[in-house]
Amino acid sequence: MNNQKNKEPMINELRLLTIVNTCSARSIVYKQKYKSGNKSIRTLMLVLGLLISLLAVRSACAQQANAAAGDSQSAPQDPAASSSDTDPDPETIFPHFSSTLFWLSGSANFIFQTHPEFSAAYSGTHSLMTNYEKATSRVLTLYTGMRINDSTEILVDVEEAGGAALSQGFGLAGNTDLDIVRNPSLSKAPYLGRGMIHKVFALSKDKVENERSYLSLFDELPRRRLEIRFGKFSMPDFFDLNSVGSDTHYQFTNWSIDNNGAWDYAADTRGYTVGLVADYEDRNWGFRFAEALMPKVANGIDLVWKPWQVHAENWEYELRRGIVPKRPGSVKILAYTNYANMGIYRDAVAQFDSGLVSIPDITNHPWHITRKYGVGVNVEQNLTPNFTIFARWGWDNGKTESFAYTEIDSTIAEGIKVNGAKWHRKQDRGGFAFVSNGIAKDHQNYLADGGLGFLLGDGGLNYGRENIIESFYTAHVWRGIYVAPAVQHINNPGYNRDRGPVVVPSFRIHLEF
């Protein structure tokens, strides 16, 4: 019997080596296919191949650990280790690490959208095309993380984004697909999405439970604490969040519903920046601050590495208390300021009026640092266990060039989310939202005179607020597979009463690994 026990670790090590070798062989096959196949397919195969290999190694390690534990009835078991297998309706295709030291997961999000022909008195360089269109976007992400100790962790995500956008992303301030790549000339190769160090400073001894995710591996945190994050990240990872409209994987996909449209947050073309986030959390409230880099040009992929000149600051206060008594909810107040090489709409129009240029050009100025600032409010309220409402309001000064996110100077949005537990489908969810977007008078004059923004420019403008309705239903199919039909209706696309309305039906497939 003792000899048998001594042999078990050796047998398990051989099994592990066999699986690793098999994964290596698979990697060679994937590489060969990667060289010869279509770019979209080969990227998908490379990412999925890496996922499968890592999951196979992890599974082998888990089997080895279980075998080493023996068949003893008294051996303690981690309930999280097999939760995905025992849960009759798991949320991911593969079970996640039961250990809190590591994180490994992945996701794939595909969104198909189309729109029929619609009427327009005229069209310009940056207009939404009036003829029938269809487009499919994709975002593939591999999330990894490692906890160094009880207060420090490293988080790294690798991403691949591609596909197409309706009219290459032009013509709408509240674009219908937040997953699109706004610059089709960008490389389709995988890139570093997030890469950050996360440090937690305990300011109290009592602990609160923390839901582990790709943004935090800790299963519990000090109730009162200071969290510091440094590296590459996306501002909406930590600011302006709510449980109804902040996630294109399961919820709405319109830019101005998932985020505050008037928040011109620091970001490159893919939505990421480099900087520092400081987050103080107490029992019922929190306050966070971010210092980040801005792009060189509007919607540019390159950041300016001169934070003493070009930089962005963001502040947010959160009160975790509902407006309705004895019901969960929160109120968040956001403020931001950007310093970058941004143009001034009034100056561009003055150049045009004086005959210096044939059309106003917001980029026609020497290098100079100007300031853009704005505020926002985000309210979320739970009415019943399965019914939640939210509202956002945002405003920016509107005189300075829209630079990083979208061309919106004022916005108001409200929406609802219903959980499928009411009809015995706890992982289903549905939602309905309305958003009204606007721009300041100087911005209106610039577009009316034929100027081009990085998203808008019909060659003229009969101004009206851009009003959008979006509804969706996300259905859980099996394990980590979700499908979601949706539809959006846009009045005055690009703030132009002479164009539209437009109806955009869509269909989303989301895979959670």
What mean pLDDT is reported for the chain?
Answer: 87
pLDDT at 103: 95
| Helix/strand/coil (H/E/C) assignment for every residue in 378-415 | EEEEEEECCEEEEEEEEEECCCECCCCCCCCCEEEEEE
Mapped onto helix, strand or coil, the DSSP state of residue 108 is: strand
Secondary structure letter of residue 67 according to DSSP: H
C-alpha to C-alpha distance for 108 and 333, rounded to whole angstroms: 32
pLDDT at 181: 81
- pLDDT digit string (tens) for 120-164? 999 999 999 999 999 999 999 999 999 999 999 999 999 999 999
pLDDT at 156: 98
Give which of 104, 106, 190, 92 is closest to 146, Cα–Cα. 104
In which residue are the tokens 């939202």 written? 433
CB 159 within 8 Å of CB 188: no
Give which of 488, 438, 489 is closest to 465, Cα–Cα. 438
> Mean per-residue pLDDT for 405-415?
98
CA within 13 Å, CB half, 71: 4
> Mean per-residue pLDDT for 170-192?
91
> Mean per-residue pLDDT for 486-508?
98
pLDDT at 89: 61
Kindly tell me if the per-residue pLDDT of 4 is higher than 80.
no
pLDDT at 445: 98
- pLDDT digit string (tens) for 319-373? 999 889 889 999 999 999 999 999 999 999 999 999 999 999 999 999 999 999 9
pLDDT at 500: 96
Q: How far is CA 101 from CA 147, 161, 219, 221, 315, in A?
A: 5, 28, 10, 14, 31
C-alpha to C-alpha distance for 109 and 44, rounded to whole angstroms: 12
Give which of 89, 48, 59 is closest to 475, Cα–Cα. 89
- pLDDT digit string (tens) for 194-210? 999 999 999 999 999 99
Structure tokens at 311: 């930089």
CB 415 within 8 Å of CB 245: yes
Kindly tell me if the per-residue pLDDT of 420 is higher than 80.
yes
185 pLDDT band, cuts 50/70/90, is: confident
Beta strands in 237-284 (DSSP E): 273-281
What are residue 145's DSSP bridge partners?
103, 155
pLDDT at 19: 42
In which residue are the tokens 């979320």 written? 380
Secondary structure letter of residue 49 according to DSSP: H
Written as one letter, the residue type at 245 is: G
- pLDDT digit string (tens) for 71-93? 433 333 333 333 333 455 678 99
Give which of 189, 184, 185 is closest to 165, Cα–Cα. 184
Determine phi and psi for 493, rounding to 5 degrees: -60, 135
In which residue are the tokens 């969960």 written? 328
3-state helix, strand, coil in the chain (%, to 5): 20, 40, 40
> Mean per-residue pLDDT for 378-387?
96
Q: List Cβ neighbours of 184 (8 Å cut-off, separation of 6 or more).
A: 164, 165, 168
pLDDT at 98: 75
DSSP structure string for 488-508: EEEESGGGBTTB--EEEEEEE
Structure tokens at 233: 């990240």
Q: CA dihedral defined by 491, 249, 411, 317, rounded to 10 degrees? A: 170
- pLDDT digit string (tens) for 303-322? 999 999 999 999 999 999 98
The percent of residues above 70 in pLDDT, for the chain, comes to: 82
C-alpha to C-alpha distance for 82 and 101, rounded to whole angstroms: 17
Written as one letter, the residue type at 411 is: T
Secondary structure letter of residue 222 according to DSSP: E
pLDDT at 2: 40
C-alpha to C-alpha distance for 210 and 473, rounded to whole angstroms: 28
CB 292 within 8 Å of CB 405: no
- pLDDT digit string (tens) for 275-311? 999 999 999 999 999 999 999 999 999 999 999 999 9
In which residue are the tokens 């080493």 written? 68
CB 273 within 8 Å of CB 293: yes
> Mean per-residue pLDDT for 96-112?
91
DSSP structure string for 295-332: BSSTT-SPBP--TTTSEEEEEEEEE---SSTTS-EEEE
Give which of 243, 162, 188, 112 is closest to 509, Cα–Cα. 112
Secondary structure letter of residue 480 according to DSSP: T
- pLDDT digit string (tens) for 446-460? 999 999 999 999 999
CB 328 within 8 Å of CB 284: no
C-alpha to C-alpha distance for 101 and 150, rounded to whole angstroms: 9
Q: Which residue has the higher pLDDT, 234 or 39?
A: 234
97 pLDDT band, cuts 50/70/90, is: confident
The percent of residues above 90 in pLDDT, for the chain, comes to: 78
CB 347 within 8 Å of CB 287: no
C-alpha to C-alpha distance for 135 and 511, rounded to whole angstroms: 19
Give which of 357, 374, 356, 347 is closest to 443, Cα–Cα. 347
pLDDT at 12: 42
